[in-house]
Amino acid sequence: MKPGLGRQLHGKRILITGGGTGIGAATARACSSSGMQVMLSGRRSGPLERVVGEIEAAGGTASMRVGDVATPGASEALLNAMDETFGGTDAVFANAGYGIEKPVLEASPAEIRRIFDVNLVAAVDLMRATGLRLRAEGRPGHLIGCASILGKFTMPGYGLYSSTKAALTHVCRSMRCELHDDGIAVSSVHPVTTRTEFFEVAKKESGEGHGPVVQDGVPTHAPRMFVQSADVVAKAVVKCLRRPRAEVWTSPVGRLSAGIFELLPPVYEVVLRSEMRRKRREAASGR
């Protein structure tokens, strides 16, 4: 079946990385509710076990694998696990990733390599490995990468994170054209600020003196119009699995803002300079 036509999800098999919390966990539950068989991967067993238990209690089918997606061979190992558990893979959601909020000049080479390895290299490797298997088997499928609204523009302190998501967006766009005639859909997801543990992790990863001020799971400076729940993103992903689309946007206002920033760079620069001044005032006052 060619991308763009409605696809039945019941009985289909999906692998979700970063599936123990936040968007990954919400998407796993939503996919299971749609009749899909779900495998979750993540670095911590506790959250994965909790989500698998919730899915099974609701009558769904789920499995889990613990590991770091950035480990060499991780993608093949996960796909082999899908073969052993479910007999194959129909879709993957490359969702694992994290953020840091730190000026580029203050990031170490190790920090730079790590965020690109997790957010970009591991995601591309999983989609590539899945695409190769699907094409070799002559089967349709769906490859989804979790990008971000910050894949379209950036903010002070988020240059590294935004770069990984911008690169992932371009890879998804290229793969979409490359695999279209094979019946393999490729999509990128662009959430806005989402209430998850993402920002708490970002604060920890950013190090002393850096990172967002977090309250109720979101940065205190985030505009309320750009705040949403993980369930909103999950529903959008399931809708995309049914009817594949190039980009999944969960906020019309966010998409409009990204478009304006791309079309009118001077407006974007004014916003960036204002945000940089805010950060400097906070740093000077000790927050």
pLDDT tens, position by position, 65-91: 999 999 999 999 999 999 999 999 999
More confident residue, 222 or 283: 283
Task: Let me know: does 185 contact 244? Beta carbons within 8 Å.
Answer: yes
Sequence-distant (6+) residues with CB within 8 A of 210 are 100, 101, 102, 106, 157, 203
Mean pLDDT of 202-218: 55
User: Has residue 3 got a pLDDT over 50?
Assistant: no
User: Has residue 2 got a pLDDT over 50?
Assistant: no
Model confidence at 39, pLDDT cuts 50, 70, 90, reads very high
- 19 class by beta-carbon count within 10 Å (0-12 exposed, 13-18 middle, 19+ buried): buried
Q: Is residue 8 part of a domain?
A: no
Q: Is residue 241 part of a domain?
A: yes
User: Has residue 155 got a pLDDT over 60?
Assistant: yes
Please choose, from the candidates 152, 151, 160, 164, the residue with its C-alpha nearest in 3D space to the C-alpha of residue 258: 152
| Bridge partners, residue 55, by sequence | none
Chain centroid to Cα 37, Å, comes to: 20
- pLDDT reported for residue 4: 41
Backbone φ, ψ for residue 248 (5° rounding): -105, 115
Q: Is residue 188 part of a domain?
A: yes
d(CA 173, CA 185): 10
Please choose, from the candidates 164, 165, 171, the residue with its C-alpha nearest in 3D space to the C-alpha of residue 151: 165
Handedness of CA 150, 151, 156, 159 (dihedral sign): positive
Q: Is residue 229 part of a domain?
A: yes
Mean pLDDT of 140-166: 93
Indicate the DSSP class of residue 224: G
Lowest mean pLDDT of 5-14, 33-42, 128-137, name the range.
Answer: 5-14
Joined together, the tokens standing for residue 157 give: 């302190």
d(CA 170, CA 189): 12
Question: What pTM did the predictor assign?
Answer: 0.86
First-to-last alpha carbon distance for the chain, in angstroms, is 54
d(CA 256, CA 252): 6
Mean pLDDT of 48-54: 97
Mean pLDDT of 143-167: 93
- pLDDT reported for residue 89: 98
User: Has residue 172 got a pLDDT over 70?
Assistant: yes
Give me the number of domains the chain comprises.
1
User: Has residue 107 got a pLDDT over 90?
Assistant: yes
Mean pLDDT of 239-248: 96
Name the H helices within the chain.
22-33, 45-57, 74-86, 109-116, 122-137, 159-179, 198-206, 230-242, 252-263, 265-285
d(CA 96, CA 68): 9
Lowest mean pLDDT of 3-12, 32-41, 125-134, name the range.
Answer: 3-12
Q: Is residue 46 part of a domain?
A: yes
Q: Which domain CATH number covers 46?
A: 3.40.50.720
More confident residue, 72 or 256: 72
Q: Is residue 282 part of a domain?
A: no
Q: Is residue 113 part of a domain?
A: yes
Residue whose pair of structure tokens reads 């694992």 in the numeric block: 96
Highest-confidence segment of 4-18, 102-116, 244-258? 102-116
Task: Let me know: does 253 contact 219? Beta carbons within 8 Å.
Answer: no
Q: Is residue 268 part of a domain?
A: no
User: Has residue 217 got a pLDDT over 60?
Assistant: no
Model confidence at 165, pLDDT cuts 50, 70, 90, reads very high
Residues 91-102 have pLDDT tens digits of 999 999 998 888
- pLDDT reported for residue 209: 54
Where in the sequence is the domain holding 238, given as residue range(s)? 13-251
